[in-house]
Amino acid sequence: MEDVDFADPVEVWLAAMGDPSPLVALLIAGGALPRRTRHALAAWLSGAFGQARAPGARTGDHVLAPEEIRRDTAAANYLRIAARAEERGYEIDGDSLARQVARKWRVPLATLRGDIARARTEGMPDILDTEARAFRAWQGGRRAVVPFAPR
């Protein structure tokens, strides 16, 4: 996965705050939107940016970093593939799958295993809630990021 897929979607955040020009520039520039930009746009349009924190969501002043969102995505990818294989009656080598997912998402294997275990007990974070939390952290001045600038 490209690092840009996990960069903070500041263009969407600025649009949510009333300045759509960076998001418009990104959309006009063409090309595929980064993964987090798509997720943040969905969160904003669904109203998640203005909603209270979801029940059971992580609390406190913890600020989600792009690397943490990459780790959550890798764990979700592992669990989705494992569930799909189980539903279809396939036996898979979980350790081999974990190594492949860790390599694909550039996450240390031990970290991925810990994230998978956490996700199995606590459940995966909702992506809209995750992006809303990142937006609120940025809005509160706890994140400094630069918007897209067309070349």
- Reported as a single tens digit per residue, the pLDDT across 8-52 is 899 999 999 999 999 999 999 988 999 899 999 999 999 999 865
Residue 123, CB-side half-sphere exposure with 13 Å CA sphere = 7
Candidate ranges 47-61, 62-76, 92-106, 132-146; pick with highest mean pLDDT: 92-106
- Secondary structure class of 142 (helix, strand, coil): coil
Are residue 10 and residue 33 in the same domain, yes or no? Answer: yes
pLDDT > 70? residue 2: no
Of 74, 68, 60, 58, the C-alpha closest to 126 is 58
CB atoms within 10 A of CB 71: 24
Number of domain units in the chain: 2
Provide the mean pLDDT of the chain: 84
Are residue 113 and residue 131 in the same domain, yes or no? Answer: no
- The region, left, alpha or beta by phi > 0 then psi within -120 to 50, assigned to residue 54 is beta
Residues 119-131 pLDDT 10s: 898 888 788 888 8
**Residue ranges making up the domain that contains 113:** 66-122
Structure confidence at residue 143 as a pLDDT band (50, 70, 90): low
Q: Report the pLDDT value the prediction gives residue 151, as an integer from 0 to 100.
A: 40
Are residue 71 and residue 118 in the same domain, yes or no? Answer: yes
Are residue 117 and residue 134 in the same domain, yes or no? Answer: no
**Strand (E) or helix (H) holding 128:** helix 127-139
